[in-house]
Amino acid sequence: MRARVLQFARRELFDGFWSFRIPGSLVLILILFSSVTWTLSERYRDSYAEYQRRLQQNEAALKETQTYSALSVRVEKPPSPLSLLNKGVSERVVNSFTVRRVGYPELFATARSSDLLRIFPAFDLALVIQIVFGLLALVFSYAGVAGEKEQGTLRLVSSYAIPRWKLLMGKVLGNLAALEALLAVGFGLFLLIVRFVSGIPIGRDGWIRTGWLFLAASLYTTLIYLIGLFISTRSSRSSVALVASMFFWVVQVVLVPLTVDYYVAILKPMPPAPDFNTSDRGGRLLISALNEVQERSKKVTYAVNLSGPIAVSGLDDNGRRFLQTRMREIANAQADDAKSLKDRIEVRRRRLEDQEAVAVWIKLVSPAFVFDRLSCILAGTGEEGYRHFFHALENYQQQISLWLENEGAYDSPRYFDADLGPVSLDTLPRFDPATAVQWSEDVASSLPWIAGMAIACVVFFLLSFISFARFDVR
């Protein structure tokens, strides 16, 4: 029984080879994947070099910390090699965050007013997969049933004592084997260029993510193939099936992903941003204390940022003692201000997500969009990846607060006195961005999407089967 299915599958596979469908697709994939991967990996190397430069700057900045209150650790989110597969939001948001004893890291759109290249669409391999494999899957499926109906071979095959599900399964397996092999070639080429030509390290995390991305791409290709097969079973002529499939392709790959966000942005505009001017009680307390010290001694100068860092110079013993007594209260007030700011940031974030949610619900009709979303989650470049990163940053911020408490920072003159020289940060806990987000978290976030695609595959296979089984050979 299984031998029959495999026999049909082999026949489909050979058909693909002899009709130049597979060799032609292979050439197209080799050209597209190699050129796109090479171009993107060159750009990745530039951004990685910049990331390294920023790390050095941040390290030097940390060593210059004059007071405990001015302690601010800049954390860089490293560019992921998998951003070549899907850029996600990584180029639209800032990737550099500051962790202080107060204040909360938040995702903001990058200041790209000077970046004129924004007018060109972003390009990555996920887009190539959506476009090319979407097209190939339909090209492999359109004549699957309709072509045989047209030629009359289906009537002949149906006259044999072979169950129809075996026939259909053979077709599906044969064509999917060819498509998955082509996909494997594309991914292999991507890894080859990234790892050995451009010399970009991928790491264990990257390999596991790449495996899941391959699974997602396979599911996408399978789903499109099955939709194409369903169209083919519903058509009596292969040309009709082909044209209908192409209409479906242009809608799901071009029209929906490119236009829905436009309509949503215009028809459901963002409400005005919430007022970020918080009570700033901490800032006022600080300024009043500093003014008081300055009135006592004209030599006192200070440089402060009202949300945290304080650096005071020229203090005498009285001034130092006075500020020491006030600092705990000021620090607590600053922490309260930061919490109130965080609430407003949350409001803003929810508004952004509400607007996006409308676009996402509409775009769910497009398998290309679902794959895009899935791949950016798995590549760690989606908003989910950034949320996981922020979760790690919040934990790190708690570690810093604890460290300051343990060091007795709030009761020490080093909390504000810049004349005492840089503070020692030897025991300060360090943040490792590479291990901040584990692949397992992103895979867990992607599971509902994977399940959705798998269910859609089963539904379209059943629909195709029902349609095929009901075909009247007369």
Partner 1 sequence: MFGTLVRRELLDHLLRWRFLLVFLICSAVFVFSAITFVLAHKRALEEKLSSYTGGPSRAGSQQSVRNLVSRPVGTARRPLGIEFAVNADSRYLPVYLGIQADGRMTTYTTALGTDNYLLSRFEDVDWVFIVSFVLTFAVIVLCYDSVSSEIEDGTLKIVLSNSVSRSLILWSKFAGAFCAVLVPLLTGCIISLLIVLNSGMVAFHKGLVLQVGSVFLLSAFYLAVVTWICIFVSAWLGRSSTSLVVLLVFYVLSALVIPGLAGTLGAKLVRVDSPQEVQAKEAAIQGLPAVLFLSGVHASRDTVDLSKMTAEEKQKYNEEQDRVRADRQRQISLYRADLERKRVAQLGLAMRMAMLSPNGLYKYTAAALAGSGIYRYRRLRAQLNGFVISWRDFLISQDRLDPKSKNSTDFENSNSFSSTVMVPDDRLPVFEERLPSYREILGDALIPGSTILGISVIVFFCAFLVFARKPIH
The two structure tokens encoding residue 354: 């509400």
**Alpha-carbon torsion, ordered 175, 181, 187, 188, to 10 deg:** -170
| Touching partner 1, residues 21-40 (CB under 8 A) | 24, 28, 32, 35-36, 39-40
What is the b/e burial string over 141-162, where b = at least 16 CB atoms within 10 angstroms of the residue's CB? bbbbbbbbbbeeebeeeeeeeb
The reply on whether position 306 binds partner 1 by CB under 8 A is no
Residues 200-239 that bind partner 1 (CB under 8 A): 238-239
Cβ 93 to partner 1, closest distance in Å? 5
Site for partner 1 in 407-426 (CB under 8 A): 418
Toward partner 1, which CB reaches closer, 191 or 243?
243
Burial of 251 (0-12, 13-18, 19+ CB in 10 A): middle
Out of 1, 161, 267, 434, the only residue in the binding site for partner 1 (CB under 8 A) is: 267
Nearer to partner 1 among residue 169 and residue 376 (C-beta): 376
For 449, other C-beta atoms within 10 Å of its C-beta total: 19
Residues 344-383 that bind partner 1 (CB under 8 A): 352-353, 355-356, 359, 383
Contact positions with partner 1 (CB under 8 A) in 77-96: 89, 92-93, 96
Q: In the complex with partner 1, which residue's Cβ is closer, 66 or 467?
A: 66
Calpha distance 130→256 (Å, rounded): 13
- Check residue 53 for interaction with partner 1 (CB under 8 A): yes
266 binds partner 1 (CB under 8 A): yes
Q: Residues in contact with partner 1, total (CB under 8 A)? A: 91
Angle at the Cα of 460 (from 457 to 462), degrees rounded to 5?
110
Q: Is position 64 an interface residue for partner 1 (rule: CB under 8 A)? A: yes
Task: Determine, following the binding rule CB under 8 A, whether residue 255 of this chain makes contact with partner 1.
Answer: yes
The 10 Å Cβ neighbour count of residue 199 is 9
At 466 the three-state DSSP class reads: helix
> Near partner 1 by CB under 8 A, which window of 46-54, 186-194, 333-341, 391-399?
46-54
Nearer to partner 1, 267 or 434 (CB): 267
Instruction: Answer yes or no whether residue 46 interacts with partner 1 by CB under 8 A.
Output: yes
Nearest to 212 by CA among 47, 30, 453, 457: 453
CA distances, 41 to each of 133, 183, 332 (Å): 21, 19, 47
Beta carbons within 10 angstroms of residue 242's beta carbon: 21
Assess 261 for contact with partner 1 (CB under 8 A): yes
